[in-house]
Amino acid sequence: MKIRTVEPIEVAAPAGELSSPWSATVALVRVTTETGAVGWGEAPTTLMTHPVLESIREVARFYEGRELHAHAAGLREFERYSFYRSRSMEATSALSAVDIACHDLLGHELGVPISTLLGGRIRDRVRAYSNGWYSDAIEPSEFATKARAMVRSGFRALKFDPFGDQYRTLSVEGLTRAVERVRAVRQAVGPDVDLLMEYHGRFLPEAAIRAGRALDEFKPAFMEEPVLPELADALVDFRRVVRTPVALGERLLHPADFESFLRRGLVDILQPDITNSGGFTYGREIAGVAAALGAPIAYHNAFGPIQTAATLQMDAVLPTFFLQESFEASWPEWKRSLVRGYAVEDGQFRIPDRPGLGIEVDERAVERFRSDAIDAVGPEPPWVIGGTWVRRPAAVRRSSGH
């Protein structure tokens, strides 16, 4: 069975809905075989939507016309031709999306979930942590109110960024405000809920260390990307003086990158993203690195439902699984409508056991929200949860879907 077409597709929020920019578009790929069978994959966005879609067209040349069962040969050939692949998130994201779709097709052909192709599941459920829940929260009391609501819905782990508009440096006032927000959340949810600190990789080392030492008091489960990624070597100093474990990985693209970060003592908990680090093919290799070095894995998962479905299939087989990120409770309705087949219940995902990704993609919804829009920007950076730097009007908050 040969691969006939590899089609990049953008879907986006309908007109009039203002979401956080990173959540307003989804980059999909639809791989179709000569028999008409269809597999789905997804790639990241965040000011990358159009470049990634173009990269999918480049990757398509290495897959179209190839036997589905030989799809890995297309990946290896792309490796040889793509000169900047090891440092090009656009290239690895495109490759990841196509790899996910090919595994989806194989699972459907063989009548098994992708976890079976990966060696067989060792768990049926995974514990999730909620992200995105604190949109339109600026004051500590607003963080606390929203955190309590998430815990009431069943989550026992919450991730959030308490640093507001601080960037690179961290003022005394900025750190004080961050501490106040974290203290309010800890008091609201109690000691038995895991708090996860999101830095978004935006601080110089000195600022990150001051923040880390101040927030150690609240016993977070991890601190994510404390320093600017180009200054990652400073994480050695951060880990030396901050007690909380360091998590990162969404910007690492190759299994060798994960091995290097672990070997150099820069990270405790790995957070690969299946949509930019080589899909399932590299995912198996990353899992092997983590298992060999005893590193917990908490997959990054911030974009769309096909990403979640693919990530859950990896979670099912990970020997060092830790936690699974979930934005589902904060998604707008248009994004929920794209896929059926999985859900978050009482703070846990049940891993789909149907063939392939285990989901059903609503192609009518895909066509309804099909778009060629460019990613929105401002007034907050595109990686920010909406309304946490700049207070949004109430009408906008009601239409944001959060």
Query: Around Cβ 184, how many Cβ atoms within 10 Å?
Result: 20
Task: Say if CB 6 and CB 65 are below 8 A apart.
Answer: no
The answer to whether 203 and 178 are in contact (CB under 8 A) is no
How far is CA 319 from its chain centroid? 20
Number of H helices, E strands in the chain: 14, 14
Given a contact cutoff of 8 angstroms between Cβ atoms, the answer to whether 113 and 124 are in contact is no
48 to 55, 70, 230, 382, 392: CA distances (angstroms):
10, 29, 19, 11, 25
Q: For residue 190, how many other CB atoms are within 10 A of its CB?
A: 9
Task: Extract the tokens encoding 258.
Answer: 């994960």
* 200 assigned to active site: yes
* Residues 341 and 359 sit within 8 Å (Cβ to Cβ): yes
* First vs last C-alpha separation in the chain: 42
Q: Which CB contacts under 8 angstroms, 24+ apart, belong to 148-156?
A: 148/188, 148/189, 150/329, 151/189, 151/193, 153/329, 153/347, 154/344, 154/345, 154/346, 154/347, 154/348, 155/128, 155/129, 155/130, 155/193, 155/329, 155/347, 156/127, 156/192, 156/193, 156/194, 156/347
Catalytic residue selected from 103, 108, 300, 402: 300
Beta strands in 141-276 (DSSP E): 157-160, 194-198, 222-224, 246-248, 269-270
CA dihedral 49, 54, 56, 58 (to 10 degrees): -160
The continuous run of DSSP H or E covering 345 comes out as strand 344-345
**Catalytic choice (69, 200, 254, 402):** 200
DSSP secondary structure letters along 282-314 = HHHHHHHHHHHHT--B-----S-HHHHHHHHHH
Q: Contact, 308 vs 326, CB < 8 A?
A: yes
Query: Does 103 participate in catalysis according to the annotation?
Result: no
Which residues are the active-site residues?
200, 300
